[in-house]
Structure 1
Amino acid sequence: MTLVGSRISTLSEQRPASPAIIPMHRVSSTAVHPCIGGIRRHLLALVLSFAVAPALDIPHLSAQEAEQVHVFEGNVRDAGTGQPLAGAHVSVVGRETWAVTRGDGSFHLTGLAAGAYILRADRLGYRGATAVVTVGTERARRAVAESAEVVIELAPSPIALDDLVVTATITERAAAEALRPVSVMTGDVLQRQMTATVAGTLASMPGMAATRMGPSVAQPVIRGLSGDRVLMLEDGIAVGDASNQGADHTTALDPSSARRIEVVRGPGALLYGGNALGGVINVIRDEIPSAAPHHLTGSATLQTQTATGSLAGSATAVFAIAERVPLRVEVAARTAGDLKTPIGTLLNTDGELWSGGAGTAYVGDWGRVGASFRGYRNYYGIPGGFVGGHAEGVRIEMERVSSRSRTVIDDPVGPFHNLRFDATHSWYTHREIEASGILGTLFEQQSASADVLGRHRRWGPFAAGAMGGRASWEDFGYGGSLHTPDTRRLKAALYLLEEVDLGSFQIESGLRYDWTLIDPGEERVSDIGEIHERGFPSLSGSLGVLYKSASGLVLGASLVRAFRTPDVTELYSEGPHLAAYVFEVGNPSLEGEVGRGLDVFLRFESDRLRAEVTGFHNDIRNHIYGEDTGRLSRVLLPIYQFRGSDAVFSGFEAGVDVDAGRGLALEGVASMVNGRLKGTDQPLPLVPPLKGHVAVKYERPSWYVRAEAEMADQQDRVGEFETATAGYTVFNAAAGVRITFGGRLNVLTVNLVNAANAEYRNHLSRVKEIMPEAGRSLNVMYRVVF
């Protein structure tokens, strides 16, 4: 990265530039439209945020400052050729402000107050770079006579380096400096791995796997843990769905519009919830825009896959409807046929998906307030025709409607340099429809939540910290064949996270208190036990230490105590769940899970190498799981009894990326987890085997080719009545082209999956006994960024 000079002016000066100088970096001041009352009246989700914000002691700007909004302009170019780079993503580190470069490489960042900022530029095929800039100060204005332009130059690189993360960290920071094992999927990797589900998209990452019931149904598994032990977030806020209440429930998230996906492996994400013993997945799409873009910004995508005959498309656009009022709109749709495997077609696995949303905000000098609305509908099939499955399969109709408001205060308030208030509401329904058209099973869920989060910089002995709270209400309804009582769940939490900087050492400690009340709305004696109200207070804590050497070596360790509350299904279920192939028997006397975890990791990152290896050990008291009793119900469904037993999960994760020179790169990933009961050493069910992949890639700034071997060992450490699976090797190949056309970045990706049409079985597939995984498939994606 090269930062060349600076040129700053304001509109109040209105001085014409010399013909010999083209100003590519300037700060301008324009008047503010003060009234957005119409938007406030029509966005009901803003009510809570507007109610809370006025109660705060927000510093007021002077009249002159209030009349100014700063716009930063710059340019991104190729470091070798000097050519402008279209489609580069430029963001302000520590803020949610970003822009996309145009055909001439220019970008505009709006809504910036006077001060110094760190800019981050990223582009496909290049290594990211940062630059420190100053906006709106007297010193910046004096620089006008000294130089001509600001240019951020990016160097081509076949491997991704210097990724930034925001999930489970107090402030945005480099992934190499995170105190938890963390991975980021973005850019070419996200485009190449994109599937119909978030879990399927992430399945190749270290420590990740996915349970499957066909191409439309997948749930994420991190270190052998799944369900609500893996917390799903949208832009940092929990998703309100019932995906953890059955293997046939996919997550109500469409990954096609994601800008990036971050994965935090292991417990300790105290900012988000104590239940997350496995980890956290954060799908980032910036649904509520943080600034009014200078010009229309967005992307459009088309995707097809031969294994299912699918066709998918999505489009996102962000634009300004007023000087300080951005609007973001998004729509996505997908249709797919039955899955084709090497030995035949898995019937009744076709599906249709639709998703759309809109978000807007008012961006002031003090911060911003905004809201969004999203609709999601997924209609897909669950295969049947075998013992344990429905005779002719089941159709699933899933719908989710959600709204959200967010208020962010960037001016100091007491010890906090940043405050954020979130309010959400979600309505979710899941219908399982039998072949005759009869409604077999019904899940309904309404949820609402309110969050407050304050972040501070240096305060006493602490270099940075965060504290906040959360309150939520959930109402679960059940119908059809299910005999689970309608239940309400109330939650409240307070948390604190602080960091001490000792130079080469960083220490982070945190505490979280959660209180949960689960009310089934009735008290009675049932065949499964006494149905009654349950309360679960819990305390979680974490301590992490990170050592950074001057050579780029990073060593870290963390200790965590986490608590998970039993969910409604584990406590009160009592009947057949046809689409999940089980007859579920709950246990209303279950106690909560208490997890104690240790992570030790070693990282190294240089200009040509990125490597990380992590070892983990999680001891979980009263681990709750559905045990196959080996018996069938009257409708020939396997009877699963929920029980709690002490368990241990231990293993490792490793990943390496090597820039071998001249555009050649090597990549390797491996992960393994061993899950067992402590008392008997009996293996736990649905634990993934040792797996990983190796790949070689040749990359130029405008194109790349890649070959990969994906491997898994046999899994013969299986739970009682669980089927073992053989090991396999699958070969994949991919190629991509990046072309600037019409001033826009156009990306075409072609991915050949299972090139040899190998027959193999995913150990976590619920249909592995009747059909293998997908056969040879050609996946093509085209994306234009504007």
Structure 2
Amino acid sequence: MINYKPIQTQKPARFSPLIRRSICTCCVCIGTCATTVSALSGALTGRVLDSQSNDPISWTTVVVEETSRGQITDEQGTFFFSDLPVGRHVIQTLHISYHDTRFAVEITAGDTTRVDLHIGHQELLVEGVRIEDQRVGSLVPLDEPDVIFSGNKLRQNLSQTIAETIDYEPGIAQRSMGPAPARPVLRGLGGDRLLILEDGERTGDLSATSSDHAVAVEPMTTQRIEITRGPETMVYGSNALGGVINVRRGYVPVERPEKAGGAFSWQGESVNKGLSSGIEWIQPLGRTLALRADGSLRKAGNVSTPRGDLINTDIQTGNVSLGLSTVHERGHVGGAIGAYRSDYGIPPDPSGGHPNGVTIDMERQHAELRAQWRGDMGIGLQTLDIHHSFSRYWHAEYEDRRTLGMEFGVLTHCGAAQMRWGPSGARQRSALGFWYEYRNYASAGLNFTPDAEEYAGAIFSYSKWQHGPWKAQGSLRADLRRVEPDQISEALLVGQVEVGRIRTRSFSGLSGGFSLQYQPHTQISTGATFMRTFRAPGIEELFSKGPHLAAYTFEVGSSNLDSEQAWGTEFFVEFRRARNYLSIALFRNQIDGYIFPKNTGQRSWRRADLILYQTVGLDAMMHGVETSFGWHFTKRWKTVGTLSYVRGTLPDLGDEAIPRLPPLQGRIGLTYEPREELEWTGSLRWANDQKRIGPFETPTDGYAVLDFSGRYNVYWRGHLHAFSVGLQNSTNAVYRKHLNRIKELLPEPGRSARLLHKVFF
């Protein structure tokens, strides 16, 4: 078990009119950006593909040498240049894992030239330019994620937390107690029903257990963020009814670059006087080795709101990692180590539990080993992946920056082995694997939750098939979990709430999913997804007993809780034509034994300034809709939008509302793109009133907030420079979000200007 020594160090307008006015303002402001486009020009579009697998290659810099204009390919490997002078041009591709290559193309007036640029180990002859390249391969996902943040999209939305970075996606909301501990909520599901992974591994932090606990992942040096729903989530966990958010950082190199390279970025923000920077570097060593390093720093002060500064919301974060691999044609073996530290504040309790706020110091160290073998290994086996990770997590909560309130520590060992059949891009692929986890949990301070050890294991399978217009996915998973507290006690009462007998608990369950998609036309697809998930209660939900000042609660677990069993159903339809799209999804989740902390309305007998929350398991029902669209109504102008809604009830309590669900909300934006390297966007994000609330919750008024953003990419002196600017809450509107635990204290942040600069070298 983890043993702690005493800590001596001191630690430091009405809704509808506002929408109408905002839309008008948006159109006027963006309209001023219009420029004249020359008629004596043409366009170039295409894809960068791997010559062996025909897979698209993202993060490739494509440069038109005569104009010094550059772009980075998206997740589909595509690029687009408009207004190129008529005639012959040489374009160059730059990628850290490929030779620099050059191609010749011919641009004709008023036309769009389309090319596919295949790069790989084969010799290619394209318009008289000879290219010879070699790829060492990388881990290919079983299926494409539902949502990908990378390239321009990631840079434009990059914020100080993962939750804020992906906040504008349909169905996404933020659970928060100030900016630092924000965590995503998807379709009303948060906690560990929405898994947050780093390079496919669990982070080992405690962000899923309480709203004051931050996610121990720094977005500054993130390569891409993937959101996955459906049957493939069973590869990562049995409880991901909400989905999986995977933050790809590439700690362990899986490719050996031909030359050294990397990127440096910095970002500034006015609302909190924040400044952050990050650097990534990868270096070939010898004939087979690859060395990768990254690091980042972030510092921000108190958040400014239209009603004054939100005190004790400052944050300081540092992150560093180092990875080394030996890479061969048939795979790679490597490891990485990393460290993350964050000191952040929780604002004062509106009820007076801690009038000066709480300061949290958090540390995480991790190490991981990964190995992959590729090629025909018999019985159709194409790929074997093995990985193991270790995480040491610690955080302490201080009152008045001096007095220790609570302390947590978790040691986590986690690993998996996965076998895959079928090459990348095949119409039929399958995977079979097992997963294991060991957690050693300890707490100290005012909390009386017993120390405990947790053992978990699972076997899983996943398959996908495609035949003509039909596509199907299926998965199965079996889980075992055992929780062993270090002390046994009889049932006891905390006030009038029964905690139950502290004892060893074991849980087991089956989960799985099936998805069927039909595409009768290249522009239309429709389908349905069916899921069954299993979730065992966590250590804190079973055995908590004590005040949690940073969360404004006195928490009492229930050792008699059973596991959750959930059934999820989704029906969807998508229309896509060229660059236009419309997506609509209807979903319904039925959860037996939905586990959540219920406000009892009672004051703690030990701390009369704290409300007593009892962990309960009740049947729950959630259903809702989400939609998104994008429409290019001219060559330069497009509009995009999202809308999402979820409604939750507790049938055991007479259809009482599930607490802390987001209201009907959405976003609509207007984008002007005079050139492919330049883009301006104005967007209106809005939410309806949330008056359907649980007991002891307070309603929240609707709002409409106007934002502006822009991006500019330029190839200068041999390097690609990417700039992103933003102006959030441009009208300095006063508004509140329903999932913000401190909404009664002060409103959301006021007007904020943001600038990001990233240079690739």
Equivalent residue in structure 2 for 1:746, among 721, 735, 742: 721
Cα gap change, 1:194/1:111 in structure 2, threshold over 3 Å: closer, same or farther? closer
Equivalent residue in structure 2 for 1:620, among 564, 575, 591: 591
Cα gap change, 1:26/1:420 in structure 2, threshold over 3 Å: closer, same or farther? closer
2:658 matched residue in structure 1: 684
In the alignment, the residues of structure 1 paired with residue 232 and residue 554 of structure 2 have an alpha-carbon distance, to the nearest angstrom, of 33
1:88 matched residue in structure 2: 72
Asked if 1 retains the 8 angstrom alpha-carbon contact of 2:98 and 2:258, the reply is no
1:765 aligns with 2:731: no
Give SS of 2:522's match: coil
In the alignment, the residues of structure 2 paired with residue 465 and residue 310 of structure 1 have an alpha-carbon distance, to the nearest angstrom, of 46
Asked if 2 retains the 8 angstrom alpha-carbon contact of 1:547 and 1:554, the reply is yes
State the Cα RMSD in Å.
3.0
1:259-270 mapped onto 2 (5 Å cutoff): 259-265=223-229, 269-270=233-234
Cα gap change, 1:148/1:130 in structure 2, threshold over 3 Å: closer, same or farther? closer
2:93 matched residue in structure 1: 106
In the alignment, the residues of structure 1 paired with residue 428 and residue 296 of structure 2 have an alpha-carbon distance, to the nearest angstrom, of 42
In the alignment, the residues of structure 2 paired with residue 75 and residue 585 of structure 1 have an alpha-carbon distance, to the nearest angstrom, of 52
Give SS of 1:570's match: helix
In the alignment, the residues of structure 1 paired with residue 115 and residue 620 of structure 2 have an alpha-carbon distance, to the nearest angstrom, of 44
Equivalent residue in structure 2 for 1:591, among 534, 540, 562: 562
Q: Which amino acid counterpart does residue 737 of structure 2 have in structure 1?
A: N
Equivalent residue in structure 2 for 1:466, among 426, 431, 436: 431
Q: CA deviation at 1:4?
A: 12
Cα gap change, 1:761/1:416 in structure 2, threshold over 3 Å: closer, same or farther? same
1:770-785 mapped onto 2 (5 Å cutoff): 770-785=745-760
Q: After superposition, give the CA deviation of every residue in 1:185-207 in whole Å (9 maximum; x if it has no partner).
A: 22222212211111111111111
Cα gap change, 1:76/1:346 in structure 2, threshold over 3 Å: closer, same or farther? closer
1:188 matched residue in structure 2: 152
Cα gap change, 1:266/1:129 in structure 2, threshold over 3 Å: closer, same or farther? farther
1:562 matched residue in structure 2: 533
In the alignment, the residues of structure 2 paired with residue 715 and residue 326 of structure 1 have an alpha-carbon distance, to the nearest angstrom, of 52
Q: Which amino acid counterpart does residue 646 of structure 2 have in structure 1?
A: V
Equivalent residue in structure 2 for 1:447, among 401, 404, 412: 412
Cα gap change, 1:270/1:131 in structure 2, threshold over 3 Å: closer, same or farther? farther
1:135 matched residue in structure 2: 121
Equivalent residue in structure 2 for 1:511, among 467, 476, 479: 476
In the alignment, the residues of structure 2 paired with residue 493 and residue 188 of structure 1 have an alpha-carbon distance, to the nearest angstrom, of 37
Equivalent residue in structure 2 for 1:295, among 259, 264, 268: 259
Cα gap change, 1:614/1:439 in structure 2, threshold over 3 Å: closer, same or farther? same
In the alignment, the residues of structure 2 paired with residue 611 and residue 781 of structure 1 have an alpha-carbon distance, to the nearest angstrom, of 30
Q: Which amino acid counterpart does residue 481 of structure 2 have in structure 1?
A: T
Give SS of 1:135's match: coil
Equivalent residue in structure 1 for 2:308, among 330, 338, 344: 344
In the alignment, the residues of structure 2 paired with residue 109 and residue 433 of structure 1 have an alpha-carbon distance, to the nearest angstrom, of 45
1:541 aligns with 2:541: no
Q: CA deviation at 1:105?
A: 2.5
1:268-307 mapped onto 2 (5 Å cutoff): 269-307=233-271
2:521 matched residue in structure 1: 550
Q: After superposition, give the CA deviation of every residue in 1:436-471 in whole Å (9 maximum; x if it has no partner).
A: 612110010000012111111189x98211110111
Equivalent residue in structure 2 for 1:707, among 670, 677, 682: 682
Give SS of 1:228's match: helix
Asked if 2 retains the 8 angstrom alpha-carbon contact of 1:752 and 1:777, the reply is yes
Asked if 1 retains the 8 angstrom alpha-carbon contact of 2:96 and 2:260, the reply is no
Q: Which amino acid counterpart does residue 288 of structure 1 have in structure 2?
A: V
Q: After superposition, give the CA deviation of every residue in 1:233-257 in whole Å (9 maximum; x if it has no partner).
A: 1111221111122111010000111
1:148 matched residue in structure 2: 129
Cα gap change, 1:323/1:91 in structure 2, threshold over 3 Å: closer, same or farther? farther
In the alignment, the residues of structure 1 paired with residue 139 and residue 230 of structure 2 have an alpha-carbon distance, to the nearest angstrom, of 16
2:403 matched residue in structure 1: 438
1:639 matched residue in structure 2: 612
Q: Which amino acid counterpart does residue 290 of structure 1 have in structure 2?
A: V
Q: CA deviation at 1:135?
A: 3.2
Cα gap change, 1:220/1:572 in structure 2, threshold over 3 Å: closer, same or farther? same
Q: CA deviation at 1:384?
A: 1.0
1:323 matched residue in structure 2: 287
Give SS of 1:771's match: coil
Q: CA deviation at 1:781?
A: 1.1
Equivalent residue in structure 1 for 2:221, among 257, 266, 284: 257
Q: Which amino acid counterpart does residue 309 of structure 1 have in structure 2?
A: K
Asked if 2 retains the 8 angstrom alpha-carbon contact of 1:77 and 1:84, the reply is no
Cα gap change, 1:257/1:75 in structure 2, threshold over 3 Å: closer, same or farther? closer
Asked if 2 retains the 8 angstrom alpha-carbon contact of 1:86 and 1:105, the reply is no
In the alignment, the residues of structure 1 paired with residue 630 and residue 66 of structure 2 have an alpha-carbon distance, to the nearest angstrom, of 27
Asked if 2 retains the 8 angstrom alpha-carbon contact of 1:268 and 1:274, the reply is no
Q: Which amino acid counterpart does residue 468 of structure 1 have in structure 2?
A: G
1:335 matched residue in structure 2: 299
Cα gap change, 1:369/1:660 in structure 2, threshold over 3 Å: closer, same or farther? same
Q: CA deviation at 1:522?
A: 2.1
In the alignment, the residues of structure 1 paired with residue 291 and residue 382 of structure 2 have an alpha-carbon distance, to the nearest angstrom, of 26
Asked if 2 retains the 8 angstrom alpha-carbon contact of 1:409 and 1:419, the reply is yes
Q: CA deviation at 1:619?
A: 0.3
Equivalent residue in structure 1 for 2:375, among 379, 404, 411: 411
In the alignment, the residues of structure 2 paired with residue 108 and residue 263 of structure 1 have an alpha-carbon distance, to the nearest angstrom, of 25
In the alignment, the residues of structure 2 paired with residue 385 and residue 710 of structure 1 have an alpha-carbon distance, to the nearest angstrom, of 28
In the alignment, the residues of structure 2 paired with residue 673 and residue 771 of structure 1 have an alpha-carbon distance, to the nearest angstrom, of 26
1:579 aligns with 2:550: yes
In the alignment, the residues of structure 2 paired with residue 204 and residue 462 of structure 1 have an alpha-carbon distance, to the nearest angstrom, of 33
Structure 1: runs of 5+ lacking an equivalent: 7-24, 28-71, 94-102, 113-125, 153-164, 176-181
Give SS of 1:621's match: strand
Q: After superposition, give the CA deviation of every residue in 1:12-61 in whole Å (9 maximum; x if it has no partner).
A: xxxxxxxxxxxxx999xxxxxxxxxxxxxxxxxxxxxxxxxxxxxxxxxx
Aligned length: 673
TM-score w.r.t. structure 2 length? 0.83
2:169 matched residue in structure 1: 205
In the alignment, the residues of structure 2 paired with residue 518 and residue 129 of structure 1 have an alpha-carbon distance, to the nearest angstrom, of 57
Cα gap change, 1:197/1:620 in structure 2, threshold over 3 Å: closer, same or farther? same
Give SS of 2:483's match: strand
Give SS of 2:490's match: strand
Asked if 1 retains the 8 angstrom alpha-carbon contact of 2:45 and 2:113, the reply is no
Q: Which amino acid counterpart does residue 467 of structure 1 have in structure 2?
A: L
Cα gap change, 1:441/1:508 in structure 2, threshold over 3 Å: closer, same or farther? same
Cα gap change, 1:337/1:314 in structure 2, threshold over 3 Å: closer, same or farther? same
Q: CA deviation at 1:385?
A: 5.2
Give SS of 1:739's match: strand
In the alignment, the residues of structure 2 paired with residue 499 and residue 476 of structure 1 have an alpha-carbon distance, to the nearest angstrom, of 38
Give SS of 1:523's match: coil
1:5-84 mapped onto 2 (5 Å cutoff): 77=62
Cα gap change, 1:267/1:682 in structure 2, threshold over 3 Å: closer, same or farther? farther
Cα gap change, 1:666/1:369 in structure 2, threshold over 3 Å: closer, same or farther? same
Q: Which amino acid counterpart does residue 465 of structure 1 have in structure 2?
A: S
Give SS of 1:253's match: coil
Q: CA deviation at 1:266?
A: 6.0
1:660 aligns with 2:633: yes
Asked if 1 retains the 8 angstrom alpha-carbon contact of 2:389 and 2:414, the reply is yes
Cα gap change, 1:90/1:757 in structure 2, threshold over 3 Å: closer, same or farther? closer
